[in-house]
A = this chain, B = another copy of it.
């Protein structure tokens, strides 16, 4: 085999000081879309508005030839067709899912990867069978520490040729809300969301929800695949392994009020009272309050929280702002969860641009 050299991006450091974006970042953004912020208005995000992050290519899977294999340290290996899976007990859960890199493109200096600004998040209804039942059917060995999930998508990343793989610790994998999902919003998964089957792990960032799932393996070690030990890590430089990215950090977003300018997305609204509306979520604990600032964070007022729509779904909030004086404003929202985690005012900078949950800032001109 000829050796393959993947050309470096930018200067190869993986960090971009400029506010200009590289062509490589743009082409990722055109593939991996955000939910537009007005999409926050829908309790359940319509399928085609759901954010998307696909590491390699979307595989075209013929479900009639596809099977899910369960192996490793199990008493009985399993191999199931989609029809067989769909005869197992099923549940439907509304789950807010966010890409761990959401907000990366706002960081300064900027880690070079999918350049999310806002909106790498959505809330969908997933239907499937609890993973737990399948693992019990297979019979886990006593020494099992992790469950490894392998998709069908293959590519290069960080110099490693790989099929996408992630693991879960055994206690998470056995949680009754972790699903093997074949439907999204009441319809079969669309290809880009993992058809025919994906993992859904409520509370975790998106990288854990393995798409095009084909293989499940029980192991008695800590999984050391690239996506686990190199890609999704919090650290201050890329050479350090740092800490694992797991649960979604507390965050809130608002629907930008008024109407936009097409090119700049500048917002323009009429003076007078306006209801600001948004959503808040945390993978760690329930949302307890959301605050709003209409003066760039100098002062804060409590927003009204609507009733929670489920354990794993974002929570809506609203705040009536009397925008009586024309001029430019910077609006902010900040959520806090039941474990007292609150969004920072400044960026949460890490070398791979993970978990940046700084407060959402929206610029609007009142006329």
Contacts and interface: CB of A to CB of B under 8 A. Distances in A.
A38 B155 CA distance: 14
How would you classify the secondary structure of chain A's contact residues: helix, strand, loop or mixed?
loop
B34 A57 contact: no
Contact of A26 (B46, B113, B115, B365): B115
Given A33-B30, A36-B54, A57-B260, A48 B265 contact: no
A156 B58 contact: no
Say how many copies of this protein the assembly contains.
2
A262 B164 CA distance: 11
A234 interface: no
Contact of A46 (B192, B261, B263): B192
Interface in A9-38: 9, 18-31, 33-34, 36, 38
A49 interface: yes
Given A41-B60, A326-B2, A190 B261 contact: no
Nearest to A120: B30
A300 to B, nearest CB: 26
A191 B1 CA distance: 49
Contact of A156 (B9, B21, B268): B268
A286 to B, nearest CB: 26
A154 B48 contact: no
Given A60-B38, A60-B41, A191-B49, A155 B24 contact: no
Bin chain A's interface residue count.
Answer: 35 or more
B48 A36 contact: no
A48 B192 contact: yes
Contacts of A25: 21, 26
A52 B117 CA distance: 18
A7 interface: yes
Nearest to A326: B2
B36 A33 contact: no
A262 B34 contact: no
A56 interface: yes
A233 interface: no
Contacts of A54: 36
Given A4-B365, A190-B46, A31 B28 contact: no
A157 B21 contact: no
Contacts of A156: 259-262, 266, 268
Contacts of A187: 187
A29 B105 CA distance: 13
Nearest to A186: B187
A149 interface: no
A161 B58 CA distance: 39
Given A9-B263, A193-B48, A26 B31 contact: no
Given A18-B20, A26-B25, A48-B50, A262 B155 contact: yes
B1 A367 contact: yes
Given A38-B57, A57-B260, 8 more contacts: A2-B327, A20-B20, A20-B23, A21-B23, A26-B29, A28-B263, A48-B48, A155-B259
Closest 4 CB pairs of A and B: A20-B20, A2-B326, A33-B33, A48-B48
5 contacts: A26-B29, A30-B115, A30-B116, A33-B33, A41-B60
